[in-house]
Amino acid sequence: MELEKVQDIASAVLSSGTLPAQFIRQETEQPGITTVKGQTLAVPVVDFSNPDQHSVIQAIDDASRHWGMFQIINHDIPNEAIAHLQAVGKEFFELPKEEKEVYAKPPGSKSVEGYGTKLQKEVGGKKDWVDHLFHIIWPPSAINFKFWPQKPPSYRAANEEYRKHLHGVVDKLFRSLSLGLGLEEHELKQSAGGDDLVYLMKINYYPPCPRPDLALGVAPHTDMSVITILVPNDVQGLQAFKDGYWYDVNYIPNALVIHIGDQIEILSNGKYKSVLHRTTVNKEKARISWPVFLEPPAEFEVGPHPKLVDEDNPPKFKTKKYGEYAYCKLNKIPQ
């Protein structure tokens, strides 16, 4: 049975001002109650063009230990490439419903790829106010173009251009994180999947919501990826949990928001923290974000790096295949 998309629900209820019950969060989760008002969280900002590489490594190391997230500026991805990626993604979600459904996730598919609305097991029957499109953009052997929209016509070119520039950012991030942990510069990426690392593009589309104080775009979670590299549009929505409170994360045009994912927390044996975050929604405007999840191949085993484990620091996590980890996470099964 085809699930009704949130975009269609939004069109039907926006004028009435009423929010269907399945989207109304418990009071302990409602952003209208739980958000720290009038204060954005100035998460660490790392200037990737800083010629002092030691300073860059130190800043990334510190942010990964204490925040689990940071933003990078001057990252060598042209503003035009980011703007083009955003434009084609927005255009796709503005297509008529039947044109988007061509790319729907096949019923019963074990992959997340495709256009859809439900991603994981829902807690208490509560739904997220979001539709999404997933497709792999790297490596070439893993790409399935049937999930890449053909409208707008420049969709593929925009994604390939963005990906081309992303490789340099990914390599520099892995080098910096590896050196920050006291490893050789190549060791962390190698332990996360190496050249077989999968780049999974997701577009999150959060339509205008009649009661943004009651709903969440995405409920609190950590990313199961190794690293997530995210580009948002200019509609505020990303929130992080810090020192027991939920804060809006400051928006910096053309910055890349970096989330430390579960696999880095595991590989670092808990030295680096995956960030607990969520998304709020807006009454007037659609919020859209473009995270790329860097993931190991499904059969690749991830566990604490041997060099980060000793008598004083025993393994804090199990070593397991990434596909098994992801299945447990999506189905809310204890790891």
Give the residue numbers annotated as catalytic, written as ranges.
Answer: 202, 221, 223, 277
Instruction: Specify the 3-state DSSP secondary structure of 247.
Output: strand
Residues whose CB falls within 8 Å of the CB of residue 290, separated by 6 or more in sequence, listed in order: 85, 86, 89, 201, 202, 203, 204, 230, 231, 232
C-alpha–C-alpha distance, residues 211 and 189, integer Å: 42
How far is the CA of 5 from the CAs of 91, 143, 244, 267, 330, in angstroms? 17, 25, 33, 37, 20
- Which residues pair with residue 202 across a beta bridge? 134
DSSP tag of 230:
E
C-alpha–C-alpha distance, residues 157 and 159, integer Å: 6
- Which residues pair with residue 232 across a beta bridge? 289
Query: Do 268 and 259 contact (CB within 8 A), yes or no?
Result: no
Main-chain phi, psi angles of 299, to 5 degrees:
-85, 0
